[in-house]
């Protein structure tokens, strides 16, 4: 799985670079990317009472059920506890969750054929891996 993930990232970066050579490079022509997550990637002391994960993108996104929150395993994927939705800013997607104490979580935002996070010009977002851990009680 890891080798495939690296290949997907390389292929995505290569496609973006090729597109950049063929057109003027602007924010509009390049794919959206993750600019912020809550919790932050690499955080090892997330409060297990946290009720939502937020992912913010660099551009306005298609917001009508357009997301791809991808699991690597059932063991490391949080329980989705409600409806995934976007904030009114059209850039921040909210995933309601239930977390457990002392546990590591792994989520991809877009990965491989699961690429529904898209900007308003229908460009898929660059895949982003979020890994964090909740603190023990």
pLDDT digits (tens, 9 = 90+) for 56-78: 999 999 999 999 999 999 999 99
- Note the pLDDT of residue 48: 98
Q: What CATH class has 32-133?
A: mainly beta
Number of Cβ within a 10 Å radius of residue 73: 8
User: Is a pLDDT exceeding 70 seen at residue 21?
Assistant: no
- The long-range contacts involving 80-85, CB below 8 angstroms and separated by at least 24 positions, are 81/51
Judge if pTM exceeds 0.95. no
The domains of the chain are located at 32-133
Distance CA 63, CA 92 (A): 9
Residue 114 buriedness (CB in 10 A; 0-12 / 13-18 / 19+): middle
Are 39 and 132 in contact by the 8 Å Cβ rule? The answer is yes
| Mean pLDDT, rounded, of the chain | 90
Higher pLDDT, 11 or 45: 45
Distance CA 73, CA 56 (A): 23
Instruction: Give the least confident one: 1-10, 30-39, 103-112.
Output: 1-10
What pLDDT band is residue 90 in, cutting at 50, 70 and 90?
A: very high
Distance CA 84, CA 95 (A): 5
Residues in the chain, overall count:
137
């Amino acid at each position: 799985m890891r080798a495939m993930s690296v290949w997907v990232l390389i292929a995505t970066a290569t496609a973006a670079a090729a597109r950049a050579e063929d057109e003027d490079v602007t924010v509009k022509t390049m794919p959206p990317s993750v600019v912020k997550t809550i919790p932050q990637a690499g955080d090892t002391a997330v409060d297990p009472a946290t009720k939502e994960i937020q992912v913010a993108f660099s551009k306005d996104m298609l917001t009508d059920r357009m997301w791809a929150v991808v699991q690597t395993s059932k063991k490391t994927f949080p329980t989705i506890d409600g409806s995934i939705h976007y904030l009114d800013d059209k850039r921040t997607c909210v995933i309601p969750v239930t977390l457990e104490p002392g546990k590591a979580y792994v989520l991809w935002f877009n990965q491989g054929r699961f690429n529904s996070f898209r900007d308003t010009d229908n460009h898929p977002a660059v895949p982003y891996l979020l890994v964090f851990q909740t603190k023990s009680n």
